[in-house]
Amino acid sequence: MPIPKRIILIASLFCLAGVMACWDIISGLFHGRISLNFAVFMLPVGIGLFRGLRSSQWWARFWIRLGYALCALLVLLALFFPGLAHASWFNTSVSGAAAVPFIILISFGMAGVLYVMQRLLDSEKAREFFTR
């Protein structure tokens, strides 16, 4: 059975996130800092999704739920501590209460992307691919 396009998309996003996390860790070492970025574990999840491993499907759901929780936490922190809020967008920085709408907008946008990934991962075509 060929890999469904939805799985290719999700697996590619997981691999991209894992590679970016690896890059963050490596570039940190070259700049004299140690960076612990647990998103490196998304790379094996993405590879496992390409291979059709059910365990990778479980881990993908875990990362998606963790993403939801982090989006909610970010919104709550921005609402309850607006003085600490900071947002950067294309070399433009906004701090304080002015950054709160940006943080909320970005968090809801990310939650929307996560929702689409979750729906695609839980679709009938995906289930068929992982149970073959």
Given a cut of 90, whether residue 89 has pLDDT beyond it is: no
pLDDT digits (tens, 9 = 90+) for 29-48: 999 998 889 999 999 999 99
Look at residues 27, 40, 34, 114 and name the one whose alpha carbon lies nearest to residue 74.
114
Please determine, for residue 49, whether its predicted confidence score (pLDDT) is greater than 80.
yes
Which distant-in-sequence residues (6+ apart) come within 8 Å of 25 by Cβ? Answer: 35, 36, 37, 40
Domain of residue 12 covers 5-130
* pLDDT value for 21: 95
Burial classification of residue 56, based on how many CB atoms lie within 10 Å of its CB (0-12 exposed, 13-18 middle, 19 or more buried): buried
- Which tokens in the block code for residue 129? 């691919």
88 confidence band (pLDDT: 50, 70, 90): confident
- Domain count across the chain: 1
Note the pLDDT of residue 92: 85
Residue type for position 108: F
Give the tens place of pLDDT for each residue, 100-121.
Answer: 999 999 999 999 999 999 999 9
Report CA dihedral (59, 65, 66, 67) to the nearest 10 degrees. 110
Higher per-residue pLDDT: 127 or 91: 127
- Local confidence band at 12 (pLDDT 50, 70, 90 cut-offs): very high
